[in-house]
Amino acid sequence: MTIVHLATDTVSVVLDARGGRLPTVVHWGAPLGPLSDEDLATLADTVVGPAANSAVDEPVGVALVPEATAGHPGRPGLRGHRAGQAWVSTFRVADLRVDASSVTVVAEDPYALLHLEITVELTPSGVLRLRSGVANDSDEPYTVDGLEAALPVPAHAVELLDLTGHWARERHPNRHRFGLGTWARESRRGRTGHDATLALLAGTEGFGFRHGEVWGLHVAWSGNHLTYAERLPEGGAALGGGELLASGEVILAPGEEYVSPWLYAAYSGRGIDGFSAAFHAHLRSRPGHPGRPRPVVLNTWEAVYFDHDLDRLRRLADVAARVGVERFVLDDGWFRHRRGDHAGLGDWYVDETVWPDGLGPIVEHVRSLGLAFGLWVEPEMINEDSDLYRAHPDWVLAPGDGSLPPRARHQQVLDLNVPQAYAYVLERLDELLSANDIAFLKWDHNRDLVAAGHAGRSGVHGQTLAVYRLIDELRRRHPGVEIESCSSGGARVDLEILERTDRVWASDSNDALERQTIQRWTALLLPPELVGAHVGPATVHSSWRTQHLSFRYATALFGHFGLEWDISALSDHELDALSAGIAYYHQVRDLLHTGELVRADHPDPSAYVHGMVTRERALFAYVQLTTSERSVPAAMRLPGLDPDARYQLTPVAPVGQPLTMGRAGPEWEPRVLTGRALAEVGVRPPLLAPEQAWLVEVNIMTG
């Protein structure tokens, strides 16, 4: 066999496939440059440590799918059995296919009668992804309890960072030491989850946004899943993850195969921003990545809720067109029996009592204004108070004992494992999209899958795959329609749902203070054009905070910008300010949605500094979150610029100046500095009040 070296300018991955067992990972980290076959063999032999006392005689590396029979004392990659037998695997490599950027390993276990295929791909951006498939070669069924990939990290990766949260407070950092033992994050919610970690990172001491080495991974799966970090006393440490299967959920009949989700991973030698840059570049390189300028969205939810009155909605659309909105989205409340959230889910017919002429009048009015029309749906859910449930009470994911799971938001989960239920939802959505000029679906998913069974077994795995098939088929039939992944806000944010959707709704909270952290850490994986970010009303409905327009605007600006607000009630002065803000978004959205995200390691925890940067221009924000312990702000350093270029800095306030504290100080005029001076010394922002943001344009000087 051989040793394989996959490499880009930012990372090297070295796999040792000698000896016939599953390949071990010799190195995943800093680029090693060109290496000869002899160099690779020497490297693979050099990293092998001494055998530990009271351990197996031969030291064991971390295989892509770790096996106990190879001597690995940690978490095994494949767990399963055949009626209690074949409970461990002993795979031997039968074929190894290698090209410049990928490796395919085909292995067989003649004793357990299993066939394993592992795919490893290194993308041009430096993102590594792995996936495995296990097939049953026996005449007897085989139960898969888990199939996970693993990647080693070095001893100097001593800290872990992952994310957690809850509704309206998604994706907050959770940081701790990477000690001995296993740190596992399991999500059993049937969807990605508000509390799910978007990525699990290991790094060197004190790693930050712009410094330190970082190794991290993401499980691309919208159902139950796990990620883990494990450090063994023998010295090995690894990150891993995969789908979290319930007992008996996947039982392979003879000849059947289970394929794991993709495990995405990236290494950065320049802190968290380098990790994010690899993922952003990877996502932007996809053929289906949104290529058109991201339109300004107005969503009607916080403007009208369930009060669907045609004249009121027409007035709202008129004002939206006046201020520069480009997409008008009619939210929950348009279908039969839906006068509140207790009834109607599943009855995907336009409510004749509210819309006697169908959606045509509002769609036509919106389109006449030059706006695209969008619609809210929640196809995976069902209310017990619905015509669909009364006709098909068996179309619900349930434990199988005759009971129903606890209600959440007064709803249950429609079992898309049932072919007739799947066909019904597909037919209703297809008809809606065929009969109306709909450019966008806000696809919601408002509850966890609890005790979610199908035919007596857990139904989450099958439900997740059915949702993927459903969206794929709708996209095939209606290729021009964009889809947003919304799930009580940000509870379904992962790279597999983004293979078939065009953006995510980061949170149901439009509180700009909460959103600053939510968006900051959603950007760990996703570039801003994939993250819906809206300006809501002055008093926030999710927290009852009252916030200045300039702060709400500056927060939403660094995403896929939109509004969720009854702007028809605003004064002319307020509408003029909003129009100016939207016009500015039109000017800078190309920068915001193609530039590189930078997040400064600012010394004051009460403030954030972030920006979007290209070589020629940048837009930075200094965000005062709360009152600082400092009486004057620390310098705002601007990383990511060309150190040798000269740049002009100009403060901008598209919707009005932010509020300042005390004496405002001297007038801040445009000034010119080198990129190196801006990164190392920085500039002083004004003394902002809490919950305020200061925006600065940075443009390269020519001539």
Residue 502 lies in a domain: no
Backbone angles phi, psi at 176, to 5 degrees: -165, 175
DSSP annotation of 219 reads E
CA angle at residue 220 from 424 to 282, to 5 degrees?
Answer: 115
E-only strand ranges, 520-592: 531-535, 560-563
Contact (CB, 8 A) for 380 and 411? no
CA separation for the pair 655, 653 (Å, rounded): 6
Instruction: Summarize the confidence of residues 584-594 as an average pLDDT.
Output: 98
Among 284, 306, 330, give the residue marking a domain's end: 284
Contact (CB, 8 A) for 58 and 45? no
Positive or negative, the CA dihedral 269, 270, 275, 278 is: negative
Contact (CB, 8 A) for 29 and 267? yes
CA angle at residue 630 from 624 to 631, to 5 degrees?
Answer: 95
Residue 648 lies in a domain: yes
CA separation for the pair 346, 382 (Å, rounded): 5
Residue 493 lies in a domain: no
CA nearest 417: which of 361, 461, 474? 461
Coil/strand/helix, residue 682:
coil
pLDDT of residue 95: 97
Coil/strand/helix, residue 77:
coil
CA nearest 596: which of 584, 586, 611? 611
CA separation for the pair 638, 93 (Å, rounded): 50
CA angle at residue 184 from 179 to 189, to 5 degrees?
Answer: 155
Q: Strand 503-505 and strand 482-485: pairing?
A: parallel
Among 284, 299, 334, give the residue marking a domain's end: 284
CA 198 to mean position of chain CA atoms: 6
**Residue range 627-650, pLDDT digits in tens:** 999 999 999 999 999 999 999 999
Distances (CA, A) of 399 to 338, 404, 467, 610: 27, 7, 20, 47
Q: What's the Rg (C-alpha) of the chain?
A: 27
Coil/strand/helix, residue 379:
coil
Q: Residue 598: is its pLDDT beyond 90?
A: yes
**Residue range 536-549, pLDDT digits in tens:** 999 999 999 999 99
User: Which is more confidently placed, 310 or 664?
Assistant: 310
Among 269, 284, 299, give the residue marking a domain's end: 284
| Percent of the chain whose pLDDT exceeds 90 | 95
Annotate 203-262 with three-state secondary structure: ECCCCCCCCCCEEEEEEECCCCEEEEEEECCCCCEEEEEEECCCCCCEEECCCCEEECCE
Q: Residue 139: is its pLDDT beyond 60?
A: yes
Residue 641 lies in a domain: yes
Distances (CA, A) of 222 to 146, 244, 287, 461, 582: 16, 11, 21, 9, 33
Contact (CB, 8 A) for 699 and 650? yes
Residue 505 lies in a domain: no
Q: Tell whether pTM > 0.95.
A: yes
pLDDT of residue 53: 86
Coil/strand/helix, residue 280:
helix
- What is the number of domains present in the chain? 2
CA separation for the pair 115, 137 (Å, rounded): 7
CA separation for the pair 462, 423 (Å, rounded): 15
CA angle at residue 498 from 338 to 246, to 5 degrees?
Answer: 80
pLDDT of residue 703: 67
CA nearest 456: which of 190, 251, 222, 223? 251
CA nearest 29: which of 51, 15, 50, 12? 12
CA separation for the pair 588, 585 (Å, rounded): 5
Q: What is the DSSP string of 257-275?
A: EEEPPEEEEEEESSHHHHH
**Residue range 87-123, pLDDT digits in tens:** 999 999 999 999 999 999 999 999 999 999 999 999 9
Q: Residue 336: is its pLDDT beyond 60?
A: yes
CA nearest 605: which of 648, 634, 646? 634
pLDDT of residue 48: 86
Identify the band that residue 50 occupies on the pLDDT scale cut at 50, 70 and 90: confident
pLDDT of residue 170: 98
Instruction: Summarize the confidence of residues 168-195 as an average pLDDT.
Output: 98
Identify the band that residue 1 occupies on the pLDDT scale cut at 50, 70 and 90: low
Residue 423 lies in a domain: no
Other CB atoms within a 10 A radius of the CB of residue 315 amount to 14
Query: What ranges in 290-386 are assigned the alpha helix state H?
Result: 301-304, 310-323, 360-368
CA nearest 467: which of 407, 378, 385? 378
Identify the band that residue 485 occupies on the pLDDT scale cut at 50, 70 and 90: very high
Give the catalytic positions in this structure: 444, 508
Which residue do the tokens 């459903």 mark?
470
Instruction: Summarize the confidence of residues 34-44 as an average pLDDT.
Output: 95
Other CB atoms within a 10 A radius of the CB of residue 365 amount to 18
Contact (CB, 8 A) for 74 and 236? yes
- The first and second tokens of residue 509, run together, are 């909270």
CA separation for the pair 285, 264 (Å, rounded): 15
**What is the amino acid identity at position 485?**
S
CA 297 to mean position of chain CA atoms: 20
Exposed (0-12), middle (13-18) or buried (19+): which is 353, by Cβ within 10 Å?
Answer: exposed
| Structural domain boundaries enclosing 17 | 3-284
Backbone angles phi, psi at 237, to 5 degrees: -140, 145
Residue 43 lies in a domain: yes
Coil/strand/helix, residue 574:
helix
Positive or negative, the CA dihedral 460, 461, 463, 468 is: positive
Instruction: Summarize the confidence of residues 27-33 as an average pLDDT.
Output: 98
- The first and second tokens of residue 155, run together, are 């001893």
Which CATH number do you get for residue 658? 2.60.40.1180
pLDDT of residue 464: 98
User: Which is more confidently placed, 49 or 415?
Assistant: 415
Query: What ranges in 595-645 are assigned the alpha helix state H?
Result: none
Residues 6 or more apart whose CB falls under 8 angstroms from that of 94 comprise 106, 107, 108
pLDDT of residue 96: 97
CA separation for the pair 265, 275 (Å, rounded): 9
Strand partners, 183: 229
E-only strand ranges, 49-198: 78-81, 92-98, 102-109, 114-122, 128-136, 142-147, 149-152, 159-166, 169-177, 181-187
CA separation for the pair 356, 348 (Å, rounded): 15
Q: Residue 316: is its pLDDT beyond 80?
A: yes
Helix (H) or strand (E) holding 341: none
pLDDT of residue 664: 56
Looking at every residue in the chain, the average pLDDT score rounds to 96
End-to-end CA distance of the chain: 58
Distances (CA, A) of 235 to 63, 591, 623: 15, 45, 42
CA separation for the pair 645, 615 (Å, rounded): 9
**Residue range 198-248, pLDDT digits in tens:** 999 999 999 999 999 999 999 999 999 999 999 999 888 999 999 999 999
Nearest 10 degrees: CA dihedral of 86, 89, 90, 94?
110
pLDDT of residue 665: 57
Which CATH number do you get for residue 184? 2.70.98.60
pLDDT of residue 59: 83
The phi-psi region of residue 234 (left if phi > 0; otherwise alpha if psi is between -120 and 50; otherwise beta) is alpha
Residue 92 lies in a domain: yes
